[in-house]
Amino acid sequence: MHLESGLLAAQSAFPLRVGGSSSPETIDKKDLTQNTDSSPGVAPLHGIKKPRYARAGLPSSEAKGLPSGFQKFGIMRILHTLIFLTTLSIAAAILSCNEPVQRSDNQSEPPAATFFWFKGNLHTHTLWSDGDAAPEVSVDWYRRNGYHFLTLSDHNILLQGERWLRVSKIETPMKDLGATFITSEKLDALSAQFGADWVVLRENDGDFEMRLKTLPELKAHFEVPGKFILIRGEEITDRYKTFPVHVNATNLNTLIMPQGGNSTYEVMQNNIDAVQKQAVETGRSMFAHVNHPNFGWGIVAEDLIWLQGDRFFEVYNGHPGVKNWGDDAHPGTDRMWDIVLSMRLKLNRHPVFGIAVDDTHHYHEQRVGKANAGRGWVMVKATALEPELIVEAMERGDFYATTGVLLKNIKMTSDALHIEIQTVSGVTYRTQFIGTPRNFDDSSQPVLNKSGNPAHITRTYSDDIGQIFLETTDNPAIYRFKGDELYIRAKIISDRAHPNPFAKGDVEVAWTQPVGKSVQKFKVQEELAK
Ligand SMILES: [Zn+2]
Ligand SMILES: [Zn+2]
């Protein structure tokens, strides 16, 4: 899909200022609702306890100099209640992308913003760590294949400074997470693709070495304003004992080294805190997202339930080793998402949004078993193609995740959720509206290991969680709220086989973000806080 044909220019009647700015105060005001552990009226959860965690020296919202939740704004709380229902339908329009503008004669009303859908991949590797191609090969692929933004997120490194790789005639095993050589065959291919002047070589002790291109060099060569941008990123690659804990940072300013910790939860929290700390210190819009929870069975749903300051996890990752579907003992990412959403919303915590990424490592051989480009991505609804606007749109939940199914429109009104699919001839689609009722059974039991002790596996929860409230082949697919839903999300499943699946048998799917009054109130609060 090329930019010229693929952009769905659209307008919204949303009267509040949307699109945001990159001013520091927009950072300071986010996540006001995160620190709600002691919120009055929060029902206790049955069976699961918050992990013990010392937060000494780590940034809480208070440490950032923020008001604690909305306690500081007593009058605002009352206003929330009074205007919530009327604001709900207005705020819901933000999700709608193809609706014509409802112009008002009222001159004091700010002009409605124009939105575009932008296609992007937030998780990509290159020879700067353990990808098998130079970064320009990666960027060139994504730009040629209709992406508008790309984050190169190598392991524990930013694409800056001098990094030289030995030119080798034969492939040698990679050391840890970083490549140490480039084959002469790949070097010749780079010269052929980008010109002999492009490749920078030096001689060192009888060996030739090639210098990797930095992010500024790549930006200068590939970026086209309004059409294609690179967003700085890093995969903060950490672990607890044998469990991998990987967290991506998008649009960060400086390198964040793995922070460590005494549990998978604590490792994840420490790394997310480090991203938040940098966001506050720099005044730059950036976010962390939790990667491939089932990779090495590293992360369990309970880790994500208690996490503070995180809004995203990978419901889909295109790497063949990440076990998106779980197995007999471990729930898949869809089930984890429903557990996490249900429990977080019950605790009055911000919902977690689901993203799809490639986690690209392999550019030279396209097949099942390789981590190839183009498998999963996000479509973000933003007013312009700028890193800060992409970040802020995603933080509002104005995006969907996909492995091939494209949507024309996601619209929430006061009484229904509408999903309009961009159909492909000969392909059929079924839309599942998945959710959890407000009064769900929140009990859960641990999964025991062979010794009879709780294993590091997501607990077993009731079937109340993540029910399919409606499945339809209609287009648009419409779900009318009954009023007792804690949240609703849509999964649109096509019958078209994925052209290059992460695992055999996968079909093209799209996931929209959760909606409902429990979710919407966070949006309303954030808009009011601006
Ligand atoms: Zn990873
Ligand atoms: Zn990765």
Kindly identify the ligand whose nearest atom is closest to the C-alpha of 296: 1
Query: Which helix (H) or strand (E) covers residue 80, if one does?
Result: helix 74-92
User: 269 C-alpha vs ligand 1 centroid, how far in Å?
Assistant: 16
User: 54 C-alpha vs ligand 2 centroid, how far in Å?
Assistant: 28
pLDDT computed for residue 522 by the predictor: 86
> What average pLDDT does range 331-351 have in this prediction?
97
Q: What percent of the chain has pLDDT over 90?
A: 72
User: 235 C-alpha vs ligand 2 centroid, how far in Å?
Assistant: 6
pLDDT computed for residue 479 by the predictor: 98
pLDDT computed for residue 106 by the predictor: 47
DSSP-derived 3-state class of residue 494:
strand
Q: Whole-angstrom Cα distance, residue 488 to residue 469?
A: 9
User: 175 C-alpha vs ligand 1 centroid, how far in Å?
Assistant: 16
User: 246 C-alpha vs ligand 1 centroid, how far in Å?
Assistant: 5
Q: Are residues 459 and 498 in the same domain?
A: yes
pLDDT computed for residue 60 by the predictor: 37
Q: Are residues 64 and 193 in the same domain?
A: no
Question: 50: pLDDT confidence band, cut at 50, 70 and 90?
Answer: confident
pLDDT computed for residue 427 by the predictor: 98
Is the predicted pLDDT of residue 126 greater than 90, yes or no?
yes
- Cα 348-394-423 angle, rounded to 5 deg: 110
pLDDT computed for residue 65 by the predictor: 31
Q: Are residues 502 and 488 in the same domain?
A: yes
Is the predicted pLDDT of residue 517 greater than 70, yes or no?
yes
Question: 284: pLDDT confidence band, cut at 50, 70 and 90?
Answer: very high
- Least Cα distance to 303 among 395, 240, 237, 236 occurs for 240
pLDDT digits (tens, 9 = 90+) for 70-112: 333 344 444 444 444 344 443 444 344 433 333 334 456 667 7
pLDDT computed for residue 379 by the predictor: 98
Q: Pick from 178, 211, 244: which residue ends a domain?
A: 211
Kindly identify the ligand whose nearest atom is closest to the C-alpha of 233: 2
pLDDT computed for residue 69 by the predictor: 32
Count how many Cα atoms sit within 13 Å of the Cα of residue 515 in the half-sphere of its side chain.
Answer: 30
Q: Pick from 153, 185, 211: which residue ends a domain?
A: 211
**Structural domain range at position 190:** 164-211
Per DSSP, what are the bridge partners of residue 382? 116
User: 222 C-alpha vs ligand 2 centroid, how far in Å?
Assistant: 22
pLDDT computed for residue 27 by the predictor: 26
> What average pLDDT does range 484-499 have in this prediction?
98
Q: Are residues 427 and 504 in the same domain?
A: yes
Q: Are residues 452 and 414 in the same domain?
A: yes
pLDDT computed for residue 524 by the predictor: 81
Q: Whole-angstrom Cα distance, residue 463 to residue 448?
A: 20
Query: Which helix (H) or strand (E) covers residue 409, if one does?
Result: strand 406-412
Burial 423-444 (b: 16+ CB within 10 A, else e): eeeeeebebbbbbbebebebeb
Q: Are residues 226 and 202 in the same domain?
A: no
Q: Pick from 148, 176, 211: which residue ends a domain?
A: 211
Is 395 in contact with 279 (CB distance < 8 Å)? no
- Cα 329-512-151 angle, rounded to 5 deg: 85
Is the predicted pLDDT of residue 228 greater than 80, yes or no?
yes
User: 268 C-alpha vs ligand 1 centroid, how far in Å?
Assistant: 13
User: 291 C-alpha vs ligand 1 centroid, how far in Å?
Assistant: 6
pLDDT computed for residue 526 by the predictor: 81
pLDDT computed for residue 529 by the predictor: 79
Q: Are residues 523 and 446 in the same domain?
A: yes
pLDDT computed for residue 180 by the predictor: 84
User: 235 C-alpha vs ligand 1 centroid, how far in Å?
Assistant: 7
Highest averaged pLDDT of the listed ranges 162-171, 180-189, 289-298: 289-298
pTM above 0.95, yes or no: no
Number of domains present in the structure of the chain: 2
pLDDT computed for residue 172 by the predictor: 67
Q: Are residues 81 and 199 in the same domain?
A: no
Q: Whole-angstrom Cα distance, residue 290 to residue 235?
A: 10
- Cα 208-210-214 angle, rounded to 5 deg: 165
Q: Are residues 295 and 394 in the same domain?
A: yes
Q: What percent of the chain has pLDDT over 70?
A: 79
Q: Are residues 173 and 319 in the same domain?
A: no
User: 237 C-alpha vs ligand 1 centroid, how far in Å?
Assistant: 7
Mean pLDDT across the chain, nearest whole number? 84
* Pair type for strands 477-480 and 416-422: antiparallel
User: 300 C-alpha vs ligand 1 centroid, how far in Å?
Assistant: 15
Question: 47: pLDDT confidence band, cut at 50, 70 and 90?
Answer: low
Q: Are residues 204 and 289 in the same domain?
A: no
Q: Are residues 435 and 496 in the same domain?
A: yes
Highest averaged pLDDT of the listed ranges 54-58, 66-70, 112-116, 330-334: 330-334
- Kindly list the protein residues that place their beta carbon closer than 5 angstroms to ligand 1, a single-atom ion: 246, 291
pLDDT digits (tens, 9 = 90+) for 374-403: 999 999 999 999 999 999 999 999 999 999
> What average pLDDT does range 126-137 have in this prediction?
96
* Pair type for strands 399-402 and 353-357: unpaired
